[in-house]
Amino acid sequence: MEILLAIVVASAVILLGALISMGNERQRKAIDGLREQMVLWAMQDLRIKRERLARDVQVDDPLAWLNKVAARACGYDLNLQVIESVESPNGLICAIGNGRGKTIFSPLAPGEIRSLNRTTNNRLSQFANQNPLLFLPRKVAAFECSVLNNGILFDLELPLVWKSLTGHNIEEIGLMWMYIIP
């Protein structure tokens, strides 16, 4: 009788733990969905508010604008100097002013870069393509720059700055990633 009672109690505890675990997972997914919806709502709200300002967008000093964006993203002034731009995938390589490393700006997220690395795993293609985005270290510091953390005209100013600094047109994008390589 005691063994049967112990088995019933143990199975009830296991069942209760499984139910709690499933409930927590469902709540986590719901919270993630709410967070995504909130970010989308905030971006749309900013787009509506900036319609008046969008007509007169211009960037007088693209490098100063890029330095301001980088400072907002990482929290300190990097004093960037443009080294070069690369294509496929698009990237803008800048030296950090104090000589401690470099930054790469790209419209590609870290996950997209990893998927590019998986598809271009041919050894000969590694020598042919010297794009530094394809050789990012695994634990590189990545910062997302968007309308939410760089002002309501960010996505309108970004194509102008990109064209000015790289000489290439970039399709309309709403965010840019900054990778700091020590």
Is 179 strand, coil or helix?
strand
Quick one: tokens of 65? 């604008």
For 20-44, what is the mean pLDDT?
Answer: 89
Q: What is the pLDDT of residue 133?
A: 76
Q: What is the pLDDT of residue 31?
A: 92
> What tens digit of pLDDT does each residue of 112-147 get?
887 876 665 555 455 455 777 777 887 888 899 988
Q: What is the pLDDT of residue 124?
A: 45
Q: What number of other Cβ atoms are within 10 A of residue 154's Cβ?
A: 22
For 90-109, what is the mean pLDDT?
Answer: 86
- DSSP, residue by residue, 39-101: HHHHHHHHHHHTTTGGGG---S-HHHHHHHHHHHHHSS----EEEEEETTTTEEEEE-TTSS-
For 12-39, what is the mean pLDDT?
Answer: 90
